[in-house]
Amino acid sequence: MSLIIVKSPQKLIESVNISLSSYETGGYELSVQDNTLLLDGKFSYGISKDFEQVLNENPQVKTVSFFSQGGYDHEARKISLIIKERELNTYVPEYCVSACVTAFIGGQKRQMSSKALLGFHRGSPSLKKKFGEEEEKDKLYDTIKFYKENGIDKEFVKRFHRTPPEEMWYPRDEELLKQGIVTEILDDQ
């Protein structure tokens, strides 16, 4: 049995608004062209379910192409796992930053255009609160573990973890190849 005490209808409305605003939905488009699933937009709440549904309806898909400014890391991790389980390839023609890179590294072959940018930074806490020192250490450990499972060295993770959430680090193509973030850079002219 649960007990809810409401002091005023306004407080109830405010609490509902706060809880709903913590999950952004929409802001993305998923489309299929031939054997490629195009993910354009933010990693919003629920995108991983829609992503999996599109894949289920299009079993011919072999590659996921990203154009994204990031979003929720937990959604990106779910998509990364789906990509890994289905042994799909990933590709970035132009721009993939923040949580987008988390999804991208799930690819068997991880390709990017020679004109593309991959951007990294430390994740931001939900609802704009600051992490305490222990939470920050736990977040770093969890991120290192996740990236290591995808063949990425912990020193690379430590490097991008030093970049604050409001900034972005764009490693050079050579470093992306060396660290295994990207397996191939395509010279798209």
Q: Is the pLDDT of residue 186 over 90?
A: yes
CB neighbours of residue 67 within 10 Å: 16
- Average pLDDT score over residue span 15-34: 63
Q: Is the pLDDT of residue 17 over 90?
A: no
The fold of 26-186 is 2-enoyl-CoA Hydratase; Chain A, domain 1 (3.90.226)
Query: Please, is 99 exposed, middle or buried when counting C-beta atoms within 10 Å of its C-beta (0-12, 13-18, 19+)?
Result: buried
CB neighbours of residue 125 within 10 Å: 14
Quote the crossing angle between the two packed helices 133-149 and 154-161, to the nearest 10°: 140
- Average pLDDT score over residue span 128-155: 74
